[in-house]
Structure 1
Amino acid sequence: MTAGTLIWVAVVVVVVVAIAAVAYLALRHQRRSRLRERFGPEYERTLAGQENRGAAEQELLAREERVAELDIRPLAPESRQTYAVRWTEVQERFVDAPGFAVTEADQLVTAVMAERGYPIEDFEQRVSDLSVGHGDTLDHYRQAHEISGRVATKKASTEELRQAMVHYRSLFEELLGESPVNDRASRRDAATGRDDQDERTLRRDPGGR
């Protein structure tokens, strides 16, 4: 093989390697963008808890694989209506018994998750599974659950309990829908009419005074 041929072979190898590298970087960027979009704030939270970005993204991909194997399904229309009525009742009970209402809200969210097909035995696993489709509201759930855990010891103020109800409602409304990842802006617009009334209800003094 002549020197000229060797040079051309080397050039071809370099070009192939360069093309492969560009394709790899493009695919990695595409995957990263997809994970950011799907997991929302949970992407950065997972990144902060891992030693590097690669490990964080592998964890998120593993969550996707696990949830893909679950039988996650939308609620039947009648179930969705029943849960919506129950939420209204729980929210109204907040006025007289805020601690009890927050505990009920936690149980109601868990019940909806179970009916939709999410495993509910372990809270951390619940959070992990929910992150795949509900990353935007997952921090609400964490905060609400933390406040709910302080109800029994009466270490949560009325304002904290009110915030817990608001946090639970954020996830509850998503779980009732059939497409939690899509059409977020439309869902927020649809909820606006309820938010003002709900806020007034929760702002009333316990005891109805």
Structure 2
Amino acid sequence: MSTTATIVLIVVVLLVLAAVVVGVQAARRRRLRQTFGPEYDRVVADTGSRSEAEKELLERTKRHAKLEIEPLSAESRTRYAAAWEEVQIRFVDSPKEAVATADELVTRLITERGYPTGDYDERLADLSVEHAATLEHYRSAHEISIRSRDGRAETEDLRQALVHYRALFADLLGEDPVAHTTPAPRPAAEAAPRTGTTPETDATSR
């Protein structure tokens, strides 16, 4: 084989290998986008690098695969749904306490499903693999909950926190916790014309 033919063959092989690599990367990127949804773009923005973001998301996937995630029994689902109904009823008279209880209830549910709950950031990372669609709700609820503990949250903020908590709660539960219950009314003093909704009815409309 002549030198020219050898060079052409090497170039062709390199082009084929490059095409394979590009194809593999594209498939991986597509798979990560499907798995993590908006969380993919968030991690890219946080890291400032698409390759670093994808490395982080792959690490999350590997870590999640080692967890023993368990489905809830019908009895547990019923118990959690009843507990959530109590939270919403409590919101009428004690919004701040209701949000604090919602945070505890969500954490308890996360634990029972098999997710570690020690570190908040790691908790988010673990949840993102199967619950990316509702992860931003959890972030928003957690942020409002912290402001509530510091006395910096209004009643409308607390109502929004409960809506956000419910989104992840329902995702983890596998069903809407109040789909078959009667919505609890908001106190007349707290009703605002611009919203006109309770935490549960507002969540249904989203």
Q: How does 1:169-208 map to 2 (within 5 A)?
A: 169-177=166-174, 194=179, 198=183, 201=184, 204-205=186-187
Q: Within 5 A, what are the aligned runs for 1:71-86?
A: 71-86=68-83
- Cα distance in 1, alignment partners of residues 161 and 127 from structure 2: 18
Amino acid corresponding to residue 119 of structure 1 in structure 2: P
Higher relative contact order (CA 8 A, sep 6+): 1
Aligned residue type for 2:48: E
Per-residue CA deviations over 1:182-206 (Å, capped at 9, x if unaligned) read: xxxxx7xxx5x939965xx36x127
Q: How does the TM-score come out when normalised to structure 1?
A: 0.84
Contact 1:113/1:175 (<8 A) preserved: yes
Match of 2:187, as an amino acid? D
2: CA distance, partners of 1:149 / 1:49: 22
Q: Which runs of 4+ in 1 moved over 4 A?
A: 195-198, 206-209
After TM superposition, give the deviation of residue 150 of structure 1 in Å.
Answer: 2.0
For residue 156 of structure 1, what is the amino acid of its counterpart? A
CA–CA separation in structure 1 for the residues paired with 2:61 and 2:182: 36
For residues 122 and 40 of structure 1, the distance between their equivalents in structure 2, rounded to whole angstroms, comes to 23
User: Contact 1:98 / 1:161 at 8 angstroms: preserved in 2?
Assistant: yes
Using the TM superposition, give the Cα deviation of residue 207 of structure 1 relative to its aligned residue in structure 2, in angstroms.
Answer: 7.2
Query: 1:208 offset after TM fit, Å?
Result: 8.8
- Letter matched to residue 120 of structure 2: F
1:126-205 map, 5 Å: 126-177=123-174, 194=179, 198=183, 201=184, 204-205=186-187
Q: Distance in 2 between matches of 1:5 and 1:82?
A: 78
Local SS of the residue matching 2:92: coil
Tell me if structure 1 keeps the 8 A contact 2:155–2:190: no
Task: Tell me the distance in 1 between the aligned counterparts of 2:12 and 2:182.
Answer: 64
Counterpart amino acid of residue 70 in structure 1 = L
* Equivalent residue for 2:15, pick from 6, 18, 28: 18
Instruction: Name the CA distance, whole Å, in 2 between partners of 1:194 and 1:118.
Output: 25
TM-score, normalised by the number of residues in structure 2: 0.86
Distance change (3 Å), C-alpha of 1:84 and 1:196: closer
Any conservation in 2 of the 1:94–1:101 contact (CA below 8 Å)? Answer: yes
Post-superposition offset of 1:120: 0.6
Structure 1's unaligned 5+ residue stretches are: 178-186
- Aligned-pair Cα RMSD in Å: 2.2
C-alpha spacing 1:64/1:48, structure 2 compared with 1 (3 Å): same
Matches of residues 25-174 of structure 1 in structure 2 within 5 Å? 25-174=22-171
Instruction: Verify the 8 A CA contact 2:87 2:101 in the aligned structure 1.
Output: yes
The count of aligned residue pairs is: 190
> Are 1:46 and 1:56, in contact at CA under 8 Å, matched by a contact in 2?
yes
Task: Give the gaps of 5 or more residues in structure 2.
Answer: 192-206
CA distance in structure 1 between the partners assigned to 2:48 and 2:33 by the alignment: 18
Deviations 1:85-127 (A, max 9, x none): 1111111111111000000100011001101110011111111
